[in-house]
Structure 1
Amino acid sequence: MGADASGRSPKQPNGARESQILGLLQRADAALTPGEVTELLSGELTYSSVVTILTRMHTKGLLTRSARGRAYAYAPVTDDAGFAARRMRTVLEERPDREAVLARFADELSDTDADLLRQLLGAEPDAGR
């Protein structure tokens, strides 16, 4: 994306910005302050925009924060696989017929994924076929 007259990238949806910042935090070796995030974004967002996004993500339960000097430092509550599992659980919890959703999900798994799921649940790989 090209920059506008201010030198910043064009406006992106909040979800895209959150994903971008979450990716930065997941790749970091430690929690980051808003100033550090702003710096890593190379000026794509203002400091106040970064603070707003980090605060919103913390409120959503995506990030933890701890005091570091006069600022907070933010870190993801889980890794990428953990966030994917949370999304899957949220979708399941939003549906009234959990059994139907789980059955459809299981029916659409590849044999390899079905075997892996059985293994993770403690069943024998070929059981139930």
Structure 2
Amino acid sequence: MRGFGDLEAVLMDRLWDRDVDATTVRELFDELTAEREIAYTTVMSTMDNLHRKGWLAREREGRAYRYWPTITREEHSARLMHEALHVGGRADLVLNHFVDRISDDEFAGLRAALRQVAVRRTEAS
């Protein structure tokens, strides 16, 4: 797995930030044109690419499609972290370097997450 291209990242961020379940190309295009010059077809083809890659699901509504993300922003971030852990050399050293660089609040969050996972794994076995 890899990160997104520049426009893909912008579109995914906007989709993740939305309060609605699904969005059309036109809705995202109208938002983007308020901030920068971009062609409708560029937004449409990028959203189609994200759909083909499995990042977006869609359903037809009239002549248009409504799109929504297939995973959350947090799930995406976790996948990127998992990939980095496995391509960055020795996993134990990568983890040590990572933990050395996080804040006290992030460290507390990590400890809480590890406790939750330990409980779930214990209950599952």
Name the TM-score, length of structure 1 as normaliser: 0.67
Asked whether 1:21 is paired with 2:11, we answer yes
Letter in 2 for 1:33: T
**Partners of 1:67 and 1:93 in 2: CA distance:** 38
**Partners of 1:61 and 1:16 in 2: CA distance:** 17
1:60 to 30, 53, 62: 53
1:38 to 29, 44, 47: 29
| 4+ residue runs over 4 A deviation | none
The CA deviation at 1:53 is 0.6
**Partners of 1:104 and 1:36 in 2: CA distance:** 42
1:86 to 79, 97, 101: 79
**Partners of 2:114 and 2:78 in 1: CA distance:** 15
The CA deviation at 1:76 is 1.9
The CA deviation at 1:51 is 1.5
**Partners of 2:107 and 2:32 in 1: CA distance:** 40
The CA deviation at 1:48 is 1.5
Q: 1:23 to 1:115 in 2, by over 3 A?
A: closer
The CA deviation at 1:49 is 0.9
Counterpart for residue 123 of structure 2: none
1:70 to 57, 63, 70: 63
**Partners of 2:114 and 2:64 in 1: CA distance:** 43
Count of residue correspondences: 110
Letter in 2 for 1:120: A
Q: 1:116 to 1:60 in 2, by over 3 A?
A: same
**Partners of 1:61 and 1:32 in 2: CA distance:** 16
Superposition pairs of residues 79-118 of structure 1, within 5 angstroms: 79-118=72-111
Flag structure 2 segments of 5+ consecutive residues without an equivalent. Answer: 117-125
Letter in 2 for 1:68: E
**Partners of 2:71 and 2:94 in 1: CA distance:** 25
Q: 1:56 to 1:93 in 2, by over 3 A?
A: farther
Q: 1:76 to 1:108 in 2, by over 3 A?
A: same
**Which secondary structure does the structure 2 equivalent of 1:30 belong to?**
coil
